[in-house]
Amino acid sequence: MFPALRRQRHPQPRNAIRQGSRIADAVFYILALLICLITLYPFYFVVIMSISSPMEVAAMNVFWYPKGFFLGSYELIVGDAKMWRAYLNTIIYVSCGTALNCLMAVLGAYPLTVRNLAGRRWVVRYLLVPMYFGGGLIPAYLLVNKLGLYNTMGAIIIPGAVGIWNIILVRTYFQTIPESLKESAFVDGASHLQLLFKIMIPVSKPIMAVVAIYTIVGIWNSWFDALVYLPNEKLHPLQMYLYRVIVQQTVDLKMLSMEDARNAASNMLTNIQLKYAIIVFTTLPVLFTYPFFQKYFVKGALLGSLKE
C-alpha cells in the first residue's frame, strides 16, 4: 500500500529519459557477439585449415576444429632460405617506406596549416585531383624506367612515398593544435622547422600512428608492384615470393610415373593446404604490429577526419 502512495505522490514525468531495459541490453550484447564471431571466424577457419590433415583439407571436412595435425605446409615455407631473403626485403620496404611516407606527410601538411601562406586553399583543392585520378600503369611504368628505378628497391619505396590522403589527414590534425602554442614558440625564437619537429610532431603521435599503420599494411600486402618493376627474384618481397611458391607447386600428373604420381598427388594435397598456411604466415606480423599503435589509432582516426 505504501509504495503505491509514494508512486502517486511522485509520478514519473512523461518526458523522462529511460535508462533502458535488460532485454534491450541483452539483444545488443547478442548482436555484438554475433558480429564478433562473424568477423573472427574466417581467420579462425584459415588457422585450423592450415594445421589439419591435408586429406581433410582437400575434402573440405574442417569447419569448427582441426582434424588431424600437419605442419608440413609451414615447414615448406620456413625451410627455404629464399623465403627469409624475401622476408628481409619486405622488412626493408616496410621500414623505409613507412618512415619516408610519414616524413613526406608531415612536410606536405605543415605548410598547408600556415595562415599567411598564399593560395593554400587552392593547393588543397589541387591535391584532391591526383588523389582520385591517376595516370594509370603504363605512365607509371615509363616514369619508373626513366628515373632509373626499374629493377631496384627504389621502385617499391619511392613511388609510394607521397600519399595525398595522408597529407590531408595530418593537415587536418595539425589544425586542431592551438594557435597559442605555435605563437608562443615563435615568440621564443623558434623557426618553422623547430616548431614542426620539436612541437608539432611530438604532440601528433595519434595521427602519425594512423599513417604508419596504413602504410605498413599497404606495403606488407603489396605484390603487384614487384611483379611489374622487379624481374630480379632476389629483390622480391614476401608476398611475391609466396605467390611464386603457389604457382611453382602445380604438377601435371599425366607426365609422371606411378610412384612419382603418388608423390605429386601428395604434394598437390599439401599445395591445397599451403594457401591457408601462407595467409596465416603473412598476416600474423601485421596483427602483432597493430597493438603498438592501437592506443593512438582511434583518436588519430577521429581527429584526422576530413574537414575544410
What digits encode the pLDDT tens for the residues 165-198?
888 888 888 888 887 877 787 887 878 888 888 8
> Average pLDDT, whole number, for the chain?
76
Average pLDDT estimate for 20-33: 82
| The C-alpha cell that represents 47 in the structure block | 588457422
Average pLDDT estimate for 46-58: 76
pLDDT for 306 equals: 45
Q: Could you tell me the CA-to-CA distances from 211 to 73, 97, 224, 293 in Å, in that order?
A: 34, 11, 21, 10
Q: Could you tell me the CA-to-CA distances from 3 to 6, 7, 16, 25, 109 in Å, in that order?
A: 5, 6, 20, 27, 65
pTM value is 0.72
Nearest Cα neighbor of 130 from 160, 83, 164 is 164
Considering the chain, tell me which residue range(s) the CATH 1.10.3720.10 domain(s) occupy.
74-303
- CATH T-level assignment (fold) for domain 74-303: MetI-like fold (1.10.3720)
Of all residues in the chain, the percent with pLDDT exceeding 90 is 2
